[in-house]
A and B are shown apart, each in its own frame.
With several copies, the nearest count.
Chain A
Amino acid sequence: MKPEKIRSIIEGLLYLTGEEGVLIEQINKVLPECTPQEIIHSVTRMKQEYEANESSGLMIADFPNGYRLTTKPFIAKYAERFAVIPKAAPLSQAALETVAIIAYKQPVSRIAIEEIRGVKSERALQTLVVKGLIKEVGRAEGSGRAILYGITPVFFDYFGLHDLSELPPLSEIMRDQNEQIDAYDLFYDQYKETIKDL
């Protein structure tokens, strides 16, 4: 099959599947005559073409083992003029901290999470479960048989990650003190937003 044809079929599938996206494996079932490598190669090129094409409002976003056709970030502004796009409310700070702990330490119990955060985390866990970002992955041994949590494929999708290796290693964050302080400043700026003269 000609590369042009392969590309056009993949593009068609990307359009049809929209926000659900399509897995390399599924593309392969539609195009059994291609190897996964050819498919990945074709999508990678298409991705670069979209990106380089100033007059295109589309791009290809990754998720684990698959791809999704989306609008480029700058389109968001115009899409919002078009319709009130439900702004998926970003996760709360509590939920972000909780899911970060789970991503690095899974499988992990609520108690272990609360020990690290120093506060109750039940609500944050509940939100994350409902959003499908985490799930019960087992039970701890011992008398309590506490629920252990792990992240789900939705986690990767939600944060636009391929796999956990794309997260900065925790140890590295440790090593570079200066960087850490910069990151901390980011948080401080957020605090300032809530500042009110008492």
Chain B
Amino acid sequence: MEYKVKIDAFEGPLDLLLHLIKKFEIDIYDIPVAEITDQYLDFIHHMQKLELNIASEYLLMAATLIAMKSRMLLPRPELSTGEENDTYEDPEQAREALMQQLIDYRKFKDAAATLKNNEQARLQLFAKPASDLTAYEHNDLKNMPLSGRATVGDMVRAFQRLLLRVKLEKPLNTKIDRQILPIGQQMTSVMQKLKTADHALSFKNICPYPDRTHLIVTFLALLELMKMNAIVCLQKDNFDDILINLGEGADHFEAGENSFNY
């Protein structure tokens, strides 16, 4: 007989027994104790030969099965009239109990399979993080009821969600960071924006995307465009918003998408 299944694949002795029952097409309602015991021990021995660690639960079940099997081979002792023999364990009862245990366990295993399907379906559904509504909240101490307040658990869960979210955003930014900075592309985009607007635009208007890489690329693009006289920058006073307008060289502007890559 071949053993191709590792013991790790089982959740415990009951799980292993269910596997053997299925594999050898045994009727769970009429378990042949001798046969199942032999198969179980055979499996365990193979695992031991491979020097795999067998959890104590498996060995305990082995002992139980052996005890059951040997008792079934012995004749049932005659009970002296009027006196119950407390030490005698009816192997038939033990077999019934094991059957019931296996059936119960299988029920929950099936229920777990249903839950697993639900879980799979649910893991396919994504949602955005909740919007920050603090802007709408009234910052009022009276608004903080003592009953139904947040628990440490709420805080910990919020923190875990945060860690997941950070992870969600991190790789994305990294991807943008890693790509070649498309300054040429950004130059084209700035020129397009200025031409469409037909008036001076502030730096904020040109690059409101709050991403550092983006700001830097846009800034570099502006510097290149200034050098080409394609744009002019105006600032009325120190710290005033810088306004950007089309320059004399605007009509001659032509930047390949791939030029000016750093």
Contact = CB atoms under 8 A, between A and B. Distances in A.
Bound together: yes
Interface of A: 12, 15-21, 23, 59, 61, 63-66, 68-73, 75-76, 79-80, 82-97, 99-101, 103-104, 116-120, 123-124, 126-127, 130-132, 158-161, 166-168, 170, 173-174, 176-177, 180-181, 183-188, 190-191, 194-198
Given A131-B139, A197-B4, A161 B162 contact: no
Interface stretch (B6-14, B72-80, B81-89, B244-252): B6-14
A126 B46 CA distance: 32
11 contacts: A59-B125, A88-B148, A96-B155, A96-B158, A100-B156, A116-B108, A117-B12, A118-B14, A158-B149, A176-B160, A194-B8
B58 to A, nearest CB: 9
Given A97-B158, A123-B135, A195-B163, A116 B104 contact: yes
Given A18-B128, A71-B125, A196 B144 contact: no
A133 to B, nearest CB: 9
B44 to A, nearest CB: 14
Contact of B130 (A19, A76, A186): A19
Given A119-B12, A131-B141, 15 more contacts: A19-B127, A19-B128, A19-B129, A63-B209, A71-B125, A83-B134, A90-B116, A91-B149, A103-B111, A118-B169, A160-B151, A186-B113, A187-B113, A195-B9, A195-B166
- Chain B contact surface mostly: helix
B132 interface: yes
Given A91-B150, A119-B132, A194-B6, A100 B137 contact: no
B168 interface: yes
B227 interface: no
Given A18-B129, A100-B112, A158-B122, A90 B22 contact: no
A131 B144 contact: yes
Contacts, number: 323
A15 B129 CA distance: 10
B130 to A, nearest CB: 4
B194 to A, nearest CB: 12
A29 B174 CA distance: 14
Contacts of B15: 118
Q: How large is the interface on B (under 10, 10 to 19, 20 to 34, 35 or more residues)?
A: 35 or more
Contacts of A187: 109, 113, 167, 170-171, 174
B119 interface: yes
B115 A99 contact: yes
Given A17-B128, A123-B134, A159 B109 contact: no
B108 A104 contact: yes
Given A84-B171, A132-B141, A170-B107, A16 B154 contact: no
Contacts of A174: 103, 107, 163
Contacts of B1: none
Interface in B206-262: 206-209
Contact of B136 (A18, A83, A181): A83
Contact of A167 (B12, B137, B152): B152
B108 A79 contact: no
Nearest to A58: B127
B163 A64 contact: no
B193 interface: yes
B93 interface: no
A191 B135 CA distance: 30
A119, A170, A196: residue with the most chain B Cβ atoms closer than 10 Å: A119
A86 B164 contact: yes
A15 B128 contact: yes
B187 to A, nearest CB: 13
Contact of B127 (A68, A87, A93, A101): A68
